[in-house]
Amino acid sequence: MSIETATNIVVDTEKDTDEVRETLAIVAQDGVIRRAAVDDAVANASMVVATAETRAELAAKKLDSAQEAATPVSDLALVSARVDNFDARLTTIEDRADNLGDAIQEVLAMREAGDLYEISRRIRRVTNVATEVQRAADDFQSEIDSFEEWLTDADRRVKELTADLDALAESVDELDDIAKIIAVDDSAPESGTAQTWVAAMVRHRVVSLMIADLRAELAALRTWAEREGGTSPSEIEPRIDEVQAKHETVGEQLSTGAEPEWHERFEDHITALDEALEAMEPPVEWAEVEAIAEEHRPAIE
């Protein structure tokens, strides 16, 4: 059966014709769907799977090396939190890699009598997942390399903290701009301006946690520098103080510039967000913070 004929049959239940055609091509030879093509397709998929499994193993070795390098400062939360995050990510990568071999075996069990379209779908799926695993493992190794450089280079640690502080200051400046716009608007709670205001209030709360996180990181870097007999960073704290002062001023402007109806409409959301963020302590996992902020960001109907 030709690919086009098989595609027309499958498309009765599948909407994406191009995807069906590409999937069926996996088990085709010279444009014709053949069971004999399954072995070659599985062999190709197995090579992709083997590469992904190898990259996952290399990622594990990289993490072992990084953990050993981090041992002298593993008591610092700044370090241990990063190592724990890497460990959790590696577990996810390894779990996905472990499942790839089983998926290949399931396809092999179907090759003699299984539905060819289902076989091709499974081959495509396992190949795509293997490619994702390989990419994740490669990215992981690159990040481990950066982490090890960060561990051994005090200047780099200070430079990264300074970059984070620059980004934080920029975020506060943007909130300041929003506060000025809101101060001259008396729209209803359902308006676009009210939506901008509540989004700014959510962001303002998140920035509070970011400031606390930077202060905790600075304290850890000072402890680290003392242990190594290095120079403690001295220019960062005054800048954090400056950013925090502006952040507090912006918070007052956002609060006083809003209409009373806005506060009444969104108070419960903001209070719930405050409670959720207060439960988090530095060093924080920012993906979790973003998820919490999104969860408590109210929709305006």
What are the pLDDT digits (tens) for 7-58?
444 555 555 667 776 777 776 676 666 777 888 889 999 999 999 999 999 9
pTM check: above 0.75: yes
C-alpha dihedral, 90 to 56 to 125 to 23, nearest 10°:
140
What are the pLDDT digits (tens) for 229-254?
888 888 999 999 999 999 999 999 99
**Residue 179 CA neighbour count, 13 Å, CB half:** 22
| pLDDT over 80 (residue 267) | yes
Average pLDDT over residues 97-121: 89
Residue 137 vs residues 73, 93, 94, 179, 284: alpha-carbon distances, Å: 25, 7, 9, 43, 23
- Supply the pLDDT for residue 5: 44
| pLDDT over 90 (residue 74) | yes
Domain ranges of the chain: 3-152, 154-295
Q: Which helix (H) or strand (E) holds 82?
A: helix 77-110
CB 209 within 8 A of CB 224: no
Instruction: Tokens for 111, please give them.
Output: 């090759």
Classify the phi-psi angles of 30: left when phi > 0, otherwise alpha if psi is within -120 to 50, otherwise beta. Answer: left
| pLDDT over 80 (residue 183) | no
Single-letter amino acid code for the residue at 16: D
